[in-house]
Amino acid sequence: MCSFFLCSYNEELLWYSGTINFGFKSKEDVNMASEKKDIILTGDRPTGPLHLGHYVGSLENRIILQEKYKQYVMLADLQALTDNAGNPAKVTNNVLQVALDYLAVGIDPQKTTCFIQSMIPQLGEITMYYLNLVTVSRLERNPTVKSEIKERGFEKSIPAGFLTYPVSQAADITFVKATLVPVGEDQKPMVEQTNEIVRAFNRTYNTDVLVEAKAIIPKVSRLSGIDGKDKMSKSLGNAIYLSDSPDDISKKVMSMYTDPDHIRVEDPGKIEGNAVFTYLDVFDSDKKKVEELKNHYKKGGLGDVKVKRYLIDVLESFLVPIRKRREEFAKDPAQVMDILFKGTKETEIVAQQTLSEIKEAMGINYKK
């Protein structure tokens, strides 16, 4: 079941995870001449600035992927509203912040088309047509939605927009005719839901207008929080943001979860579940040095503070160029928004084309 693209992608990731991209030079190594046959749709709900978890789980892959594929990155403000209807400012205010994070890490608007979801008017129309092709009970069975409903404590008062957001997401994926969708393991059912709608549409209207997408799941998709918990997230308050100041970084690393039984410097310490070493594994390109530190720590005689100070240096040398680029872009927010508007305009042309094909396939064309 492993397609060419999936396999080559995974190998790439394997290679990539061993060479963290300080200063964004290694992307030059990627074969620029390869054909951009596949189309990628990915994106973020703009509900807060992006953190190291986002970097490891998706941003670093996007920087690679933009060299080989046509890549769309969507600022999913509409989707964010499905569970933030009461606070749109939380969403709208973060669009610029997330865009700054994108540019800061090296998402290149010359290679990746970034767009704002709510500015693609065709998405609502496409969603309306798809809503007729999926049943309520199917949406209620969607594992991702089910667990998200539980997480959010919606229970009986689920907003209709939240239950139906997989259908809106199907519109997102299909209107650019995405063939590859990078997702976390937990989001895989969303791609399956999309493909069901694609098949239902093509079957019902006897067409091949819509294309199915493959979920691509990165090998390292999740970074633990500074508290050692499974997932870094804004709501858990355990995140290091790409936009954090050196002072924030220092404080956060110093408060990091290590080995609770490692009380005196001379005590032997544990590496497993020790967030400091998890981060070193991910962010330090000097693997030999990390190995030495681990051995020393396990044996005893290496204090937490010393390892943490080293991690601060490692994170800083990773974050300094990101921070610098972010500050540079942040000086002219209007220019950043213009980048998004330009991408949005380009994307809208694609959306209009797909919507026309959809309506044509359904025979809804009164002007013909």
Binding site for its own copies (CB under 8 A): 77-78, 81-83, 85-86, 88-89, 92, 95, 116, 118-119, 121-129, 131-137, 139, 156-164, 167-168, 204-205, 337, 340-341, 359, 362-364, 366-367
Nearer to its own copies, 84 or 317 (CB): 84
Three state DSSP letters for 316-360? HHHHHHHHHHHHHHHCCHHHHHHHHHHHHHHHHHHHHHHHHHHHH
Could you tell me the smallest distance in angstroms from the CB atom of residue 195 to its own copies?
17
Which residues pair with residue 70 across a beta bridge? 39
Please, what is the angle between helix 287-299 and helix 304-330, to 10°?
Answer: 150
Could you tell me the smallest distance in angstroms from the CB atom of residue 197 to its own copies?
10
| φ, ψ dihedrals at 41, nearest 5° | -120, 130
Nearer to its own copies, 61 or 127 (CB): 127
Could you tell me the smallest distance in angstroms from the CB atom of residue 207 to its own copies?
12
Nearer to its own copies, 139 or 249 (CB): 139
Closest to 275 measured CA to CA, from 340, 229, 343, 325: 229
Nearer to its own copies, 31 or 206 (CB): 206
- The contacts of residue 215 (CB under 8 Å, 6+ apart) are 181, 182, 183, 187, 188, 191, 192
Could you tell me the smallest distance in angstroms from the CB atom of residue 73 to its own copies?
16
State the virtual CA torsion across 214, 218, 219, 222 in degrees, nearest 10. Answer: -130
Burial string for 331-368 (b: 16+ CB within 10 Å, else e) reads eeeeebeebbeebbeebbebbeebbeebbebeeeeeee
Residues 65/40, Cβ–Cβ less than 8 Å:
yes
Could you tell me the smallest distance in angstroms from the CB atom of residue 53 to its own copies?
26
Nearer to its own copies, 155 or 272 (CB): 155
Containing 216, the helix (H) or strand (E) segment is: strand 214-216
Nearer to its own copies, 4 or 366 (CB): 366
Nearer to its own copies, 85 or 320 (CB): 85
Could you tell me the smallest distance in angstroms from the CB atom of residue 55 to its own copies?
25
Nearer to its own copies, 1 or 89 (CB): 89
Could you tell me the smallest distance in angstroms from the CB atom of residue 287 to its own copies?
43
- The contacts of residue 22 (CB under 8 Å, 6+ apart) are 285, 317, 318, 321
| Residue type present at position 112 | T
28 three-class SS: helix
Could you tell me the smallest distance in angstroms from the CB atom of residue 342 to its own copies?
13
Per the structure block, which two tokens stand in for 292? 């030495």
